[in-house]
Amino acid sequence: MTSGQHDKGFTLWFTGLSGAGKSTLATRIADELRHRGLRVEILDGDEVRTNLSKGLGFSKEDRDTNIKRIGYVCKLLTRNGVVAISAAISPYREVRDHNRKEIGHFIEVYVKCSIEALTKRDVKGLYKKALAGELKNFTGVSDPYEAPLNPDILVDSGTQRVEESAQAILSYLEQHAWIPKASATPSPHEPGTHAR
């Protein structure tokens, strides 16, 4: 690995509605970055809520506190040369911008997906309940979600396969010299060039 930017940590911040595929993509990217010799930690929104943010509710204030806590941990990891990957809805622009300013090396990935597509793929039936008014404070339905205006990376999980979205993210990171280019060794996820 060459010296320079690749030795620096950075934060890859996935935002998007519940069920859009943030955690799936975060795991896929983390695997690939580890394969390329980088140190990576994932902060998953659901896991953080059960550990770091236990006791917080879903008011705007509590949501903001939760996202700022994730941001703080990402900042510490980034400062120590680790790639911090956050996969949390993080519905409010202001707090995402706050984290960007605090962390510095911050790349926002907006995992876009329409409510229609999310409702179709929703195994727990949460969107159906929220749309019927049975669930309060459900982001994107009964609670606001402020989509990024200028995300660094935009992927659409309603129209793209996971592999396509992952490739778009990795290409961006390579082009901006955040990560080393892939070596000739195929990654464990690409058994052959024609695999689909």
Nearest to 85 by CA among 114, 126, 44: 44
Nearest to 90 by CA among 42, 134, 46, 136: 46
* Active-site residue, from 18, 23, 53, 90: 90
**Which amino acid belongs to residue 178?**
W
Determine whether 90 is an active site residue: yes
The Cα 40–Cα 75 span in angstroms is 13
Beta strand spans in 5-45 (E): 10-15, 40-44
The Cα 83–Cα 81 span in angstroms is 7
User: Residue 182 carries which DSSP code?
Assistant: P
The three-class DSSP label of residue 13 is strand
Nearest to 145 by CA among 134, 137, 135, 153: 137
Neighbours of 113 (CB within 10 A): 22
Where in the sequence numbering do the catalytic residues fall?
90
